[in-house]
Structure 1
Amino acid sequence: MRSSFYALFPLIAAGLTGCEKKAAPPMQMPPAAVSFVPVSSEKVELTRDLPGRVDAVRVAEVRARVAGILLKRTFEEGANVKAGQELFRIDPAPLEAAKASAEASLAKAAANLKQAQTTANRYSELVNVKAISRQDYDLAQAAVQTAQAEVQTAEAAIKTAGLNLGYATVTAPIDGRIGKALVTEGALVGQTDATKMAVIQQLDPIYVDFTQSSTDLLAFRRALKEGKLDKDGASVVKLLLEDGTEYPQPGKLLFSEVSVDETTGMVSLRAQFPNPEHTLLPGMFARVRVTQALKDNSITVPQQAVTRGQGGTGSVLVIDDSNHVQLRMIRTDAAVGNKWVVTEGLKAGERVVMEGHLKARPGAEVKPEPFVSKTASSNNGKTAPDKG
């Protein structure tokens, strides 16, 4: 038995050797499919969002200019009013009586003036023939001047009484939206001071006050001087509402303070926005988006393609001409929409990986495909594949 086993051993060894020669080579993984976007060079608008508050262009306090009892309110609270529109009515009876009294005083003064003038005319004849003394004539002339002054005083009193009677009808000093009435019918107004009765605010156009650092302000003025922005400040100011939506009307920068706040290093600025629908209300919080500069031929890359490391350093995966992946460190400046402005590390036309970062190892070969956004693909009735 042992001799026969040794006889079969060469045959078994030969069979095993034959099996090793027929074994299949190890399988190689195909290149991973990744999507890419080409690095673009474009004109970008560098902006900065700054907190601000909405403020009315004009605010008018409606006050009682004459004392009296309030008879009626003639406006709807919260409505838009026009300049000159009647708002309140104060009891005019005492004021009418005061005007009638002033008119009577004028009539009396006019009669006194006529009598004094007649006496003075008669004395002028008598003094020439020495029938009266010169002193009596001078007194007659002084009486005429006194009577004339009394007439002027009475006329001024009539004018004052007429003004007060007109003030019994309280009108709007400006166009705008009026708030709630601060007094009610039957109230005594204007007795000791000019009682505040309502407030009117002009809402179209409207102001937005905000602050900006002195450094950014210098850069902004430099861009204006170099012609990189509109000289009148138009179309460089936009507004973001409290819910994050952008206000449809562009604003115009008006002015800045002449000094810098020593504690914060900030400068106060004001922008003006059209507000035809009265969407913006005084006191509302908003963010002002100010254009700092316009740059031509800026290298941009989607934020989704950039990976941030420790210290905020950025990196992207670049696909070379042989479809191999390279890790590239980049330096970014500001965000413009959903893109980063790249100042160092990339050039226009290079392909950066958008989706499939986990499959794309540096040095590995990949199968690149142009990136198609999910929004664009859904508009075509298709769903973009997830390559992440």
Structure 2
Amino acid sequence: MLLHRFGSICSGRRTKVVVPAFALGCSLVLMTGCAPKNEFVAPPPPSVVVAPPYQGEVTVYTPVGGQTSARDSVEIRARVSGYLESVDFTPGSTVKTGDLLFTIEPQLYEAALQSSKGQLDSANASRDLAQTTYQRNEQLFTSDAISELDLLRSQAELELSEASVSQAEAAVESASLDLGYTKIYAPLTGRISRERVTVGNLVGSGEPTLLATIVQMDPMDIYINIDERTLLTFLKEYGQKRSTDMKGSTVLLELSDGTVYSRKGRVDYVSNRLDSATGTLEMRVSFPNPDGTLIPGLYGKVLFPNTYDDAIVVPEECIQMDMTGNYVLVVNSENVVETRYIEKGPLVDEGRVVTEGLGADEHVIVNGIQRARPGITVTPQNPS
């Protein structure tokens, strides 16, 4: 029958094809039996980058703020009165001990010196005459040619003339000093300020006039005050001997722009007691400054080094925190993520020092932390 009806369609006659119900059911059963099953396939474990912590020697610096100060500073003042005749230096330059700085008109003091020398010559002549007179009267007295009173009078005149000589000598010395003060020389080597008084002005009248200042530039000091907590940290980290006798310790200086001064300094003074009012200990650190890079008044931080021989260091971004504390995620031997709670130490160039809670052989997750959580399996990879 089916062939007969299929042939009718092919011959072009409009014959309705009737498909039996049992044939359609068999076709559906056959189609359903051949389709694949819809089963769940688990995704692969997430990939994370792991690395062991850095272990080795690291240096931690404890900063203490302070201000630079010249080791020595001198105010140049006029010690005699007179008109300023010349300024013999370049303002802001470095002067050496003995360099001529100022000249005050010397004519008045030269004349005073010559007058004092004349008075001394007169006093010497009077003393010589008195000496001769006394010697002659001694001879006359032995021959009873003069009385004892005349001898005593001549002796008194001799002593008076000798006193006049001493007074005249002191006047010559004073006049010589005043003349010397008309030329003012540098008492130390250092950088000089600008002149405070210009040529032609009267100086030293009534009080010593400030003419300039000189500050010693090499070495340059910085005074610091270490608070009690930092001092106790030193006692713990540096050791008892070093903390109680820190004189001679080598330190660095960080300037206000964040750069570190190229030369190392040395602690050359430590106060013998803690200031009870401020709770601080005063120290002075000396830095070589041959090229004058440091100037008085700069603010900076003195960096006290502390070296850890076998420190364990991890990147700072690996450390997370929850209600329990700080922790890092590690991958164990079965590639399962675990939590390691740690104690954070100081921050260094290599990262963060871990003082407790992490071993040097752990595999710390350093990248892909957002894809990891404790208890899941991951695919660890080495850093590229």
Fold shared, TM-score > 0.5 on shorter chain:
yes
Q: 1:224: how far off?
A: 5.1
Give 2:292's match in structure 1, choosing from 278, 302, 306: 278
Residue 232 to residue 324, structure 1, CA distance change in 2 (3 Å):
same
Q: 1:231: how far off?
A: 6.9
Q: Does 1:157 align with 2:159?
A: no
Pairwise CA RMSD:
2.6
Corresponding residue SS for 1:69: strand
TM-score normalized with structure 2 length: 0.87
Question: What is the rounded CA distance, in whole Å, between the counterparts of 1:172 and 1:371 in structure 2?
Answer: 65
Residue 229 to residue 133, structure 1, CA distance change in 2 (3 Å):
closer
Question: What is the rounded CA distance, in whole Å, between the counterparts of 1:42 and 1:97 in structure 2?
Answer: 79
Give 1:54's match in structure 2, choosing from 68, 74, 91: 68
Question: What is the rounded CA distance, in whole Å, between the counterparts of 1:155 and 1:138 in structure 2?
Answer: 26
Question: 1:200-233 deviations in whole A, cap 9, x for unaligned?
Answer: 1111111111121234324535635557999753
Question: What is the rounded CA distance, in whole Å, between the counterparts of 1:228 and 1:188 in structure 2?
Answer: 55
Question: What is the rounded CA distance, in whole Å, between the counterparts of 1:274 and 1:370 in structure 2?
Answer: 47
Q: 1:10: how far off?
A: 5.9
Give 2:310's match in structure 1, choosing from 271, 281, 297: 297
- State the one-letter code of the partner of 2:316: Q
Larger deviation, residues 205-214 vs 39-48: 39-48
Runs of 4+ in structure 1 deviating by more than 4 angstroms, as ranges, are 3-7, 224-232
**Pairwise mapping of residues 230-379 of structure 1 onto structure 2 (< 5 A)?**
233-235=248-250, 237-291=251-305, 293-309=306-322, 313-371=325-383
Determine if contact 2:222/2:286 at 8 Å carries over to the other structure. Answer: yes
**Pairwise mapping of residues 118-197 of structure 1 onto structure 2 (< 5 A)?**
118-197=132-211
Question: What is the rounded CA distance, in whole Å, between the counterparts of 1:353 and 1:79 in structure 2?
Answer: 59
Residue 167 to residue 316, structure 1, CA distance change in 2 (3 Å):
same
Give 2:221's match in structure 1, choosing from 207, 215, 227: 207
Residue 149 to residue 224, structure 1, CA distance change in 2 (3 Å):
farther
**Pairwise mapping of residues 66-145 of structure 1 onto structure 2 (< 5 A)?**
66-145=80-159
Corresponding residue of 2:6? none
Determine if contact 1:229/1:294 at 8 Å carries over to the other structure. Answer: no
Question: What is the rounded CA distance, in whole Å, between the counterparts of 1:221 and 1:81 in structure 2?
Answer: 43
Determine if contact 2:246/2:267 at 8 Å carries over to the other structure. Answer: no
Q: 1:344: how far off?
A: 1.7
Corresponding residue of 1:16? 32
Corresponding residue SS for 1:41: strand
- State the one-letter code of the partner of 1:328: R
Determine if contact 1:224/1:230 at 8 Å carries over to the other structure. Answer: no
Question: What is the rounded CA distance, in whole Å, between the counterparts of 1:195 and 1:361 in structure 2?
Answer: 78
Corresponding residue SS for 1:203: coil
Where does structure 1 lack aligned partners over 5 or more consecutive residues?
A: 373-388
Larger Rg over CA atoms: 2
Question: 1:254-309 deviations in whole A, cap 9, x for unaligned?
Answer: 22223323344221221111112211111111111112x43332322221221244
Determine if contact 1:40/1:349 at 8 Å carries over to the other structure. Answer: no
Q: 1:13: how far off?
A: 4.7
Q: 1:196: how far off?
A: 1.4
Determine if contact 1:305/1:353 at 8 Å carries over to the other structure. Answer: yes
- State the one-letter code of the partner of 1:12: L
Q: 1:72: how far off?
A: 0.8
Question: 1:4-23 deviations in whole A, cap 9, x for unaligned?
Answer: 5576446525533442xx23
Residue 152 to residue 370, structure 1, CA distance change in 2 (3 Å):
farther
Determine if contact 2:113/2:175 at 8 Å carries over to the other structure. Answer: yes
Corresponding residue of 2:10? none
Corresponding residue SS for 1:60: strand
Residue 255 to residue 177, structure 1, CA distance change in 2 (3 Å):
same
Sequence identity, in percent?
34
Determine if contact 2:246/2:270 at 8 Å carries over to the other structure. Answer: no
Question: What is the rounded CA distance, in whole Å, between the counterparts of 1:215 and 1:276 in structure 2?
Answer: 35
Tell me how many residue pairs correspond in the alignment. 367
Determine if contact 2:247/2:270 at 8 Å carries over to the other structure. Answer: no
Question: 1:32-51 deviations in whole A, cap 9, x for unaligned?
Answer: 33333312332333321111
Question: What is the rounded CA distance, in whole Å, between the counterparts of 1:93 and 1:215 in structure 2?
Answer: 64
Q: 1:89: how far off?
A: 0.7
Corresponding residue SS for 1:115: helix
Question: What is the rounded CA distance, in whole Å, between the counterparts of 2:269 and 2:243 in structure 1?
Answer: 19
Question: What is the rounded CA distance, in whole Å, between the counterparts of 1:55 and 1:349 in structure 2?
Answer: 49
Where does structure 2 lack aligned partners over 5 or more consecutive residues?
A: 1-16
